[in-house]
Amino acid sequence: MYKITGLFFCLLLTGCEAEPVTYDSLMQNPSRLQKESVICQQNEEPQCNIVRQAAQDFLQLINERRDDPEKFGQEIIQIQISLAELAKQPGAKEMYQQQEKKLRILFAVVAATSVE
């Protein structure tokens, strides 16, 4: 009975999220990705494919950071430089947004793996 109630409560919380479950939103919010992953362990909903892919990709980024932190940091710096250059270019809005999204994901990986 408690398991069913807990599952219902989790589903209720997920259903009330203001932001829909998208790959980008999950990659930028590791705590939400973790919650959604737990819910999708025994679930075959179509959105769970997105959750599983995001979890796999996020884990890959965590491994990249762990295996070569300097290279991971250099990638962050390169994206920041790219954003500064793109900000000066008219008509580069889409490219800027893609790079900004990638930077947010890398910062989420750093935040998720940093020790306080």
Across 15-24, 43-52, 71-80, the highest mean pLDDT is recorded for 71-80
pLDDT greater than 60 at residue 90: yes
18, 22, 32 from 38: Cα distances, Å: 19, 16, 10
- The H or E element that residue 68 is part of is none
- 3-class DSSP assignment, residue 48: helix
Rounded average pLDDT over 5-25: 60
Q: Which long-range contacts (CB under 8 A, 24 or more apart) does 105-109 make?
A: 105/24, 105/27, 105/28, 105/61, 106/61, 106/72, 106/75, 106/76, 106/79, 107/76, 108/27, 108/28, 108/29, 108/30, 108/58, 109/30, 109/58, 109/61, 109/62, 109/65, 109/72
Confidence tier at 31 by pLDDT (50, 70, 90): very high
Asked whether the predicted pLDDT for residue 116 surpasses 70, the reply is no
pLDDT bin (cut points 50, 70, 90) of residue 29 is: very high
Mean pLDDT rounded to a whole number for the chain: 86
Cα–Cα distance, 37 to 22 (Å, whole number): 13
**Pairwise pLDDT comparison (54 vs 46), residue with the higher score:** 54
